[in-house]
Amino acid sequence: KAGVTQTPRYLIKTRGQQVTLSCSPISGHRSVSWYQQTPGQGLQFLFEYFSETQRNKGNFPGRFSGRQFSNSRSEMNVSTLELGDSALYLCASSGNWDTQYFGPGTRLTVL
Amino acid sequence: GIQVEQSPPDLILQEGANSTLRCNFSDSVNNLQWFHQNPWGQLINLFYIPSGTKQNGRLSATTVATERYSLLYISSSQTTDSGVYFCAALSGGYNKLIFGAGTRLAVHP
Protein backbone atom coordinates (compact mmCIF):
# COMPACT_ATOMS: atom_id res chain seq x y z
CA LYS A 1 0.00 0.00 0.00
CA ALA A 2 1.16 3.51 -0.70
CA GLY A 3 1.84 5.62 2.34
CA VAL A 4 0.40 8.96 3.36
CA THR A 5 1.26 11.68 0.86
CA GLN A 6 1.34 15.42 1.42
CA THR A 7 1.64 18.23 -1.05
CA PRO A 8 3.39 20.51 -1.43
CA ARG A 9 6.49 19.50 0.50
CA TYR A 10 7.81 23.04 0.85
CA LEU A 11 6.05 26.37 0.71
CA ILE A 12 7.11 29.97 1.16
CA LYS A 13 4.46 32.61 1.76
CA THR A 14 4.34 36.16 3.03
CA ARG A 15 2.39 37.52 5.96
CA GLY A 16 -1.29 38.06 5.25
CA GLN A 17 -1.51 35.45 2.50
CA GLN A 18 -3.42 32.23 2.80
CA VAL A 19 -2.26 28.69 2.13
CA THR A 20 -3.85 25.31 1.43
CA LEU A 21 -2.11 22.04 2.23
CA SER A 22 -3.22 18.65 0.97
CA CYS A 23 -3.06 15.16 2.46
CA SER A 24 -3.95 11.85 0.87
CA PRO A 25 -4.34 9.04 3.42
CA ILE A 26 -3.49 5.40 3.06
CA SER A 27 -6.06 3.65 0.90
CA GLY A 28 -8.98 2.50 3.02
CA HIS A 29 -8.22 4.83 5.93
CA ARG A 30 -11.07 7.16 6.79
CA SER A 31 -9.48 9.19 9.56
CA VAL A 32 -7.10 12.04 8.81
CA SER A 33 -5.49 14.13 11.54
CA TRP A 34 -3.34 17.24 11.22
CA TYR A 35 -0.50 18.33 13.49
CA GLN A 36 1.74 21.38 13.66
CA GLN A 37 5.35 21.07 14.74
CA THR A 38 7.37 24.10 15.83
CA PRO A 39 10.63 24.30 17.81
CA GLY A 40 8.91 26.15 20.62
CA GLN A 41 5.63 24.27 20.98
CA GLY A 42 6.55 20.82 19.73
CA LEU A 43 3.94 18.66 18.05
CA GLN A 44 0.40 19.91 18.53
CA PHE A 45 -2.89 18.49 17.34
CA LEU A 46 -4.84 20.69 14.94
CA PHE A 47 -7.93 18.68 13.98
CA GLU A 48 -9.19 15.29 12.91
CA TYR A 49 -11.64 14.35 10.17
CA PHE A 50 -13.53 11.12 9.75
CA SER A 51 -15.93 10.48 6.89
CA GLU A 52 -15.96 14.18 5.96
CA THR A 53 -16.81 15.28 9.52
CA GLN A 54 -14.55 17.11 11.91
CA ARG A 55 -14.54 15.01 15.06
CA ASN A 56 -12.03 16.86 17.17
CA LYS A 57 -10.24 20.19 17.12
CA GLY A 58 -7.17 21.43 18.91
CA ASN A 59 -6.58 24.80 20.48
CA PHE A 60 -5.83 26.87 17.39
CA PRO A 61 -7.42 30.11 16.14
CA GLY A 62 -10.17 30.08 13.56
CA ARG A 63 -7.65 31.00 10.85
CA PHE A 64 -6.85 27.30 10.77
CA SER A 65 -9.51 25.24 9.06
CA GLY A 66 -9.81 21.99 7.22
CA ARG A 67 -12.06 19.69 5.32
CA GLN A 68 -12.23 16.15 4.10
CA PHE A 69 -13.56 14.92 0.81
CA SER A 70 -15.57 11.80 0.04
CA ASN A 71 -12.39 9.97 -1.05
CA SER A 72 -10.90 10.72 2.41
CA ARG A 73 -8.36 13.19 1.05
CA SER A 74 -8.07 16.18 3.33
CA GLU A 75 -7.01 19.78 3.02
CA MET A 76 -6.12 22.31 5.65
CA ASN A 77 -6.20 26.03 5.12
CA VAL A 78 -4.50 28.81 7.00
CA SER A 79 -5.73 32.31 6.29
CA THR A 80 -4.04 35.63 7.05
CA LEU A 81 -0.68 34.01 7.65
CA GLU A 82 1.48 35.18 10.54
CA LEU A 83 5.20 34.70 11.07
CA GLY A 84 4.41 32.26 13.89
CA ASP A 85 2.63 29.94 11.47
CA SER A 86 6.00 28.89 10.08
CA ALA A 87 6.13 25.22 10.94
CA LEU A 88 6.18 21.65 9.73
CA TYR A 89 2.61 20.50 9.13
CA LEU A 90 2.10 16.78 9.40
CA CYS A 91 -0.94 14.73 8.57
CA ALA A 92 -1.66 11.23 9.76
CA SER A 93 -4.12 8.60 8.65
CA SER A 94 -5.65 5.80 10.61
CA GLY A 95 -7.98 2.94 9.88
CA ASN A 96 -9.52 3.05 13.31
CA TRP A 97 -8.45 3.96 16.81
CA ASP A 98 -5.03 2.43 16.65
CA THR A 99 -1.84 3.08 14.74
CA GLN A 100 -1.57 6.46 13.07
CA TYR A 101 0.71 6.71 10.04
CA PHE A 102 2.29 10.02 9.21
CA GLY A 103 3.10 11.65 5.92
CA PRO A 104 6.39 13.39 5.10
CA GLY A 105 5.03 16.80 6.06
CA THR A 106 4.77 20.22 4.48
CA ARG A 107 7.35 22.75 5.62
CA LEU A 108 5.77 26.21 5.57
CA THR A 109 7.87 29.34 5.84
CA VAL A 110 6.12 32.67 6.33
CA LEU A 111 8.19 35.76 5.52
CA GLY B 1 -6.27 16.47 29.26
CA ILE B 2 -3.59 13.85 29.28
CA GLN B 3 0.02 14.96 29.67
CA VAL B 4 3.02 13.13 28.27
CA GLU B 5 6.56 13.56 29.56
CA GLN B 6 9.71 12.08 28.09
CA SER B 7 13.14 11.62 29.58
CA PRO B 8 15.93 12.24 29.12
CA PRO B 9 15.59 15.23 26.79
CA ASP B 10 19.01 14.56 25.28
CA LEU B 11 21.16 11.46 25.05
CA ILE B 12 24.63 10.99 23.61
CA LEU B 13 25.92 7.49 23.01
CA GLN B 14 28.90 5.74 21.55
CA GLU B 15 28.08 3.32 18.78
CA GLY B 16 27.31 -0.10 20.22
CA ALA B 17 25.91 1.17 23.51
CA ASN B 18 22.43 0.41 24.82
CA SER B 19 19.89 2.98 25.94
CA THR B 20 16.48 3.30 27.56
CA LEU B 21 14.06 6.12 26.81
CA ARG B 22 11.14 6.74 29.13
CA CYS B 23 7.64 8.09 28.58
CA ASN B 24 5.30 8.93 31.46
CA PHE B 25 1.64 9.73 30.92
CA SER B 26 -0.78 11.27 33.35
CA ASP B 27 -3.92 9.25 32.66
CA SER B 28 -4.99 5.88 31.34
CA VAL B 29 -4.46 5.50 27.62
CA ASN B 30 -5.92 3.39 24.85
CA ASN B 31 -3.17 4.16 22.36
CA LEU B 32 0.55 4.64 22.94
CA GLN B 33 2.92 4.96 20.03
CA TRP B 34 6.66 5.48 19.67
CA PHE B 35 8.05 7.33 16.67
CA HIS B 36 11.46 8.18 15.27
CA GLN B 37 11.62 11.48 13.43
CA ASN B 38 14.08 11.36 10.57
CA PRO B 39 16.24 14.33 9.51
CA TRP B 40 13.65 15.30 6.89
CA GLY B 41 10.92 15.53 9.50
CA GLN B 42 8.89 12.42 8.81
CA LEU B 43 7.63 10.49 11.80
CA ILE B 44 8.45 6.82 11.39
CA ASN B 45 6.29 4.39 13.34
CA LEU B 46 8.27 2.24 15.72
CA PHE B 47 5.64 0.68 17.97
CA TYR B 48 1.96 0.77 18.72
CA ILE B 49 2.00 -0.43 22.31
CA PRO B 50 -0.84 0.54 24.68
CA SER B 51 0.28 -2.29 26.97
CA GLY B 52 2.72 -5.18 27.09
CA THR B 53 6.04 -5.71 25.35
CA LYS B 54 7.03 -5.78 21.70
CA GLN B 55 10.33 -6.27 19.92
CA ASN B 56 11.50 -5.33 16.46
CA GLY B 57 15.13 -6.11 15.78
CA ARG B 58 17.36 -4.05 18.05
CA LEU B 59 14.41 -2.08 19.36
CA SER B 60 11.89 -3.14 21.95
CA ALA B 61 9.23 -1.37 23.94
CA THR B 62 7.31 -2.03 27.11
CA THR B 63 4.23 -0.23 28.38
CA VAL B 64 3.02 -0.71 31.95
CA ALA B 65 -0.40 0.85 31.65
CA THR B 66 -1.30 0.47 35.34
CA GLU B 67 1.79 2.50 36.30
CA ARG B 68 1.41 4.93 33.37
CA TYR B 69 4.77 4.64 31.71
CA SER B 70 6.38 3.21 28.61
CA LEU B 71 10.02 2.40 27.87
CA LEU B 72 11.83 2.20 24.55
CA TYR B 73 15.01 0.13 24.51
CA ILE B 74 17.65 0.54 21.85
CA SER B 75 20.38 -2.08 21.88
CA SER B 76 23.73 -1.99 20.08
CA SER B 77 23.03 1.54 18.87
CA GLN B 78 24.14 2.64 15.41
CA THR B 79 24.74 6.10 13.99
CA THR B 80 21.56 5.70 11.95
CA ASP B 81 19.60 5.58 15.21
CA SER B 82 20.33 9.27 15.72
CA GLY B 83 17.38 11.62 15.67
CA VAL B 84 14.44 12.51 17.86
CA TYR B 85 12.25 9.88 19.47
CA PHE B 86 8.69 10.76 20.39
CA CYS B 87 6.07 8.95 22.34
CA ALA B 88 2.45 9.92 21.87
CA ALA B 89 -0.65 8.91 23.75
CA LEU B 90 -4.31 8.91 22.99
CA SER B 91 -6.86 9.03 25.75
CA GLY B 92 -10.56 8.79 25.17
CA GLY B 93 -12.14 8.79 21.76
CA TYR B 94 -11.02 9.98 18.33
CA ASN B 95 -7.52 10.19 16.96
CA LYS B 96 -6.00 13.05 18.92
CA LEU B 97 -2.45 12.08 19.82
CA ILE B 98 -0.73 14.00 22.60
CA PHE B 99 3.02 14.06 22.05
CA GLY B 100 5.85 14.30 24.50
CA ALA B 101 8.63 16.79 23.91
CA GLY B 102 10.91 14.08 22.55
CA THR B 103 14.32 12.63 23.33
CA ARG B 104 17.10 13.78 21.03
CA LEU B 105 19.55 10.92 20.52
CA ALA B 106 23.02 11.33 19.04
CA VAL B 107 25.05 8.20 18.36
CA HIS B 108 28.73 8.80 17.61
CA PRO B 109 31.03 6.33 15.84
- C-alpha separations of A6 from A12, B50, B88 in Å: 16, 28, 21
Chain A residues lying within 8 Å of B94, measured CB to CB: 48, 50, 55-56, 97
| DSSP letters for A41-69 | TEEEEEEEEETTEEEEE-S--TTEEEEE-
Check pLDDT > 90 for residue B27: no
Chain B residues lying within 8 Å of A37, measured CB to CB: 41
**Of residues B41 and A67, more confidently modeled:** A67
- Tens-digit pLDDT profile for residues A82-109: 999 999 999 999 987 678 999 999 999 9
Whether A103 and chain B come into contact, CB under 8 Å, resolves to: yes
Check pLDDT > 90 for residue B105: yes
Contact flag B96-A100 (C-beta cutoff 8 Å): no
With CA atoms as reference, report the closest residue to B107 among B83, B85, B79, B84. B79
Q: Quickly count: other Cβ atoms within 10 Å of residue B34's Cβ.
A: 24
- Residues of chain A falling short of pLDDT 50: none
| pLDDT confidence of residue B92 | 67
Q: How far is A103 from chain B (nearest CA, A)?
A: 7
Residue B47 CA to residue B49 CA, distance in Å, equals 6
Check pLDDT > 90 for residue B55: yes
How much is the average pLDDT of B22-43? Answer: 91
Check pLDDT > 90 for residue B38: no
Whether B38 and chain A come into contact, CB under 8 Å, resolves to: no
Whether B39 and chain A come into contact, CB under 8 Å, resolves to: no
Which of B4, B29, B95, B103 would best serve as a mutation to test chain A binding (most A beta carbons within 10 A)? Answer: B95
Which of B33, B49, B96 would best serve as a mutation to test chain A binding (most A beta carbons within 10 A)? Answer: B96
- C-alpha separations of A14 from A65, A106, A108, B28 in Å: 19, 16, 10, 42
Residue B37 CA to residue B82 CA, distance in Å, equals 9
Q: How far is A58 from chain B (nearest CA, A)?
A: 8
| pLDDT confidence of residue A59 | 92
- Tens-digit pLDDT profile for residues B75-104: 999 999 999 999 999 876 678 899 999 999
